[in-house]
Amino acid sequence: MSATSTATELSIPSDLAEARRVQELIEGALHSAGYTEHNIFAIKLALEEALVNAIKHGNQLDPDKRVFIVFNVTPERFDIRITDEGAGFNPDDVPDPTAIENLERPCGRGLLLMRGFMTEVEYHGRGNVVRMAKVRDIPA
């Protein structure tokens, strides 16, 4: 993450209302850094998918488990790392939601959206850590 600013660290319970609070905090930071509405929309959508995945799939909505978030916003770039306390998963094992045989299955769409809207998406550890980045589109 950028050396010119300080990362923000948060820990939230496995609660979707808390995830919305984090999204609002990050949206405010993006506005303050001068991000366009297009970039903010992209980040919010990917962020929502990642947080919901951590809470629902990773932590199984267990109120005793937490989601750990570290994010950094600079005028050029947004970075975030989301860690849950779940068993993890292998993203390569998730079926391609665009394949004909999977079009009516609900799995994989969130991962597809995250990859589509962010510049970088990586999974670490046993698959319970996702790191995403969005390099800002600066209007000409």
Q: What is the CATH number of the domain that holds 43?
A: 3.30.565.10
- What per-residue confidence (pLDDT) applies to 5? 67
- What per-residue confidence (pLDDT) applies to 84? 97
Q: Is residue 84, in this structure, part of any structural domain at all?
A: yes
- What per-residue confidence (pLDDT) applies to 93? 78
Tens digit of each residue's pLDDT (9 = 90 or more) over 22-44: 999 999 999 999 999 999 999 99
- What per-residue confidence (pLDDT) applies to 106? 63
* Mean pLDDT value across residues 71-88: 96
Nearest alpha carbon to residue 44 among 58, 34, 29, 61? 29
101-132 burial, b at 16+ Cβ within 10 Å, e below that, comes to: eeeeeeebebbebbeebbeebebeeebbbbbb
Q: Is residue 3, in this structure, part of any structural domain at all?
A: no
Whole-number average pLDDT of the chain = 89
Q: Is residue 53, in this structure, part of any structural domain at all?
A: yes
Pick 71 or 1 by higher pLDDT: 71
Q: Is residue 62, in this structure, part of any structural domain at all?
A: yes
Q: How many domains does the chain have?
A: 1
Q: Which domain holds residue 25?
A: 8-135
Q: What percent of the chain has pLDDT over 70?
A: 84
- What per-residue confidence (pLDDT) applies to 3? 46
